[in-house]
Each structure stands twice: as C-alpha cells, then as structure tokens.
C-alpha cells in the first residue's frame, strides 16, 4: 500500500475516534495558501487544529511532528483564524493523533 493510502486510512480512523469522543469537525483536509490542516475541530471552548500521523510501531519518546511541519501547521492555523473571525472567541489548540496499527489512536492534546 502506498503512503498516501495509509495516510487516508489513518485519517478515517482518527475521524471515527474523534466522533466517538464528541468532537465536532468543522473541516477535513483544509487547504490554505500556507499549508494543509488535516482536521479543524470545535468544542465549547477550543478551536482545535489537528494533525494525523500514522506510525508502524509505537509512538516512542520523539515528537511525531517535525519542526518544519509544526511551523506549517502554525501558519495554516493563523491563516484560518484570520479568515474566520466567527471563531475568534474560541481558544486555539494544536493537537496530534497518532494512529498505530492494531492499537487505539493516541490523542496528544496541546502537543505542539
């Protein structure tokens, strides 16, 4: 299977997990001029920008998001907030969900 296909499967698994945890998705695979955001979610208090990562093995102690990816996600989140002022009252948060085969997804809140 290709990396792209594995990434899509990981996103579907993450979407199912998020719905089970009562997160309300606003956008999926949102493309902005400065980068793509896998999910934009909303709770009562937070506007969550979520990156989904698939790993073959465990999570380990290393950060699943590289510094370059973190910068891209920050820029995309800032662009989204500026473009959608109706969400200005919500606290922004950057999360990561790590999907590992044959295990439950791991949700790292405020991971970045």
The count of structural domains within the chain is: 1
φ, ψ of residue 91 in degrees (nearest 5): -80, 125
Burial class, 26, CB count within 10 angstroms (exposed 0-12 / middle 13-18 / buried 19+): middle
Label residue 9 by pLDDT band (50, 70, 90).
confident
Alpha-carbon distances, residue 3 vs 15, 25, 96 (angstroms): 18, 24, 18
* Structural domain of 95: 3-108
Residues 51-79: pLDDT tens digits?
Answer: 999 887 666 656 678 888 889 999 999 99
Note the pLDDT of residue 101. Answer: 85
CATH of the domain at 61: 3.40.1350.10
Q: Which residue has the higher pLDDT, 2 or 87?
A: 87
Note the pLDDT of residue 110. Answer: 83
Note the pLDDT of residue 7. Answer: 81
């Amino acid at each position: 299977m290709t990396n792209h296909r594995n990434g899509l499967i990981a996103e579907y698994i993450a979407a199912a997990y998020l719905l089970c945890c009562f997160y309300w998705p606003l956008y999926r695979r949102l493309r902005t001029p400065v980068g793509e955001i896998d999910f934009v979610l909303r709770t009562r208090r937070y506007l969550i920008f979520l990156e989904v990562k698939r790993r073959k093995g465990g999570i380990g102690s290393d950060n699943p998001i590289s510094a370059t990816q973190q910068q891209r996600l920050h820029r995309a989140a800032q662009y989204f907030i500026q473009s959608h002022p109706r969400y200005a009252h919500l606290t922004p948060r950057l999360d990561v969900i790590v999907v590992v085969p044959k295990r439950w997804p791991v949700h790292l809140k405020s991971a970045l």
